[in-house]
Amino acid sequence: MRLVIKQTIKKVSSTTDKRVINLLVNDDFINYVINPNLILVEIWDEFFDAHPAMIPVAEEAKAILQGQTISDPIPPQAQQELEASILKKCGLRID
């Protein structure tokens, strides 16, 4: 599973800003995008207030996490593994 994530990041990283990649591997940012809570919203709002130049970077990372910008679709099994990994990191279960 980690290999799939690394391959996806590698595919994205060839055309993506290193700051975006740093957000894509940040557990707090992933949770903020996928499963936000009041604490994470407050933390990231404060961060973006202090670093407004990071807002478009975060928007790009958010779009990637939500699958909006990947031009080469990953195989269905790899997508399922990636989704399961993200949900697990967020502490979510879908039955």
- What are the pLDDT tens digits along the chain (95 aa)? 455 555 555 555 445 578 888 898 899 999 999 889 999 999 999 999 999 999 999 998 898 888 776 555 667 777 777 778 777 777 776 66
Number of domains the chain is built from: 1
Examine residue 94 and state whether it is found in any structural domain, yes or no: no
- Asked, for residue 26, whether it belongs to a domain, the answer is yes
Sign of CA dihedral 63, 65, 68, 70: positive
pLDDT attached to residue 24 = 87
* φ, ψ for residue 20, nearest 5 deg: -65, -45
Residue 61 counted as domain residue? yes
Give pLDDT, residue 57: 92
Per-residue model confidence (pLDDT) at position 51: 96
Instruction: Tell me which residue range forms the domain holding 25.
Output: 2-89
Residue 18 covered by a domain: yes
